[in-house]
A and B are shown apart, each in its own frame.
Chain A
């Protein structure tokens, strides 16, 4: 089965600090995604990538950067963390051929104090 891992699983950060969330997939999928999930908002797309070296803005990219250095790895970077970025973050990978199912990682719970 497709495997997506995330680190750290839990993170407490201070306002104004830098936070990096990492994601690794062993599915050899071209597409990777970062979402955040908040009560009342569902899953919202932050950034996504079609392959190594590419990143695209999703629906709520402000305050976030992304990096895709390789097929397997996709990072989400919060340069100046704010309390409004407290959320659960999910990474996902998908194969665009034949009706893409997205495989989600276990999530990272981020608290910004």
Chain B
């Protein structure tokens, strides 16, 4: 069973729209979360990280974390065709030397 669950599996949003992606860990030892983005045929690149409860914003990207429910979400506003990619959520316990467990990802398509 996947310890990091992502939803939805795939998502289509219009250009300029809002994309919302979800991620939940079933491992109660997890403290830290990351979001990676992987364009087709490329390697993953870190988008954002969040370690504390609350919200973090960087440009068009906002990440929320609720540690009690081990749930994080990524919101992309004013979505662009270049945002079309696989979005991977990763989680790690703070005492595991950043040994990441990845989810299976959400495939986002931004329709121009």
Instruction: Given A43-B44, A90-B43, check contact A31 B98 (CB 8 Å).
Output: yes
Instruction: Given A50-B97, A96-B97, A99-B32, check contact A44 B43 (CB 8 Å).
Output: no
Partner-binding segment picked from A10-18, A65-73, A76-84, A100-108: A100-108
Q: Bound state CA distance, A47 and B92, in angstroms? A: 16
Judge if A59 is at the interface, Cβ distance under 8 Å.
yes
B contact patch SS: loop
**For chains A and B in complex, what number of residue pairs have CB atoms within 8 angstroms?**
47
The total of chain A residues at the interface (CB under 8 A) is 24
- Closest A residue to B104 by beta carbon equals A42
Interface string of B42-55 (1 = CB under 8 A from A): 11111001010000
17 A-B pairs (CB sep. < 8 Å): A31-B97, A35-B102, A42-B88, A42-B102, A42-B105, A44-B102, A45-B101, A48-B99, A96-B97, A96-B98, A99-B32, A101-B49, A102-B46, A104-B45, A106-B42, A106-B43, A107-B43
- Which 4 residue pairs spanning A and B have beta carbons closest together? A104-B43, A100-B98, A42-B104, A43-B102
Chain B residues with a Cβ under 8 A of chain A:
2, 32, 34, 42-46, 49, 51, 88, 90, 97-105
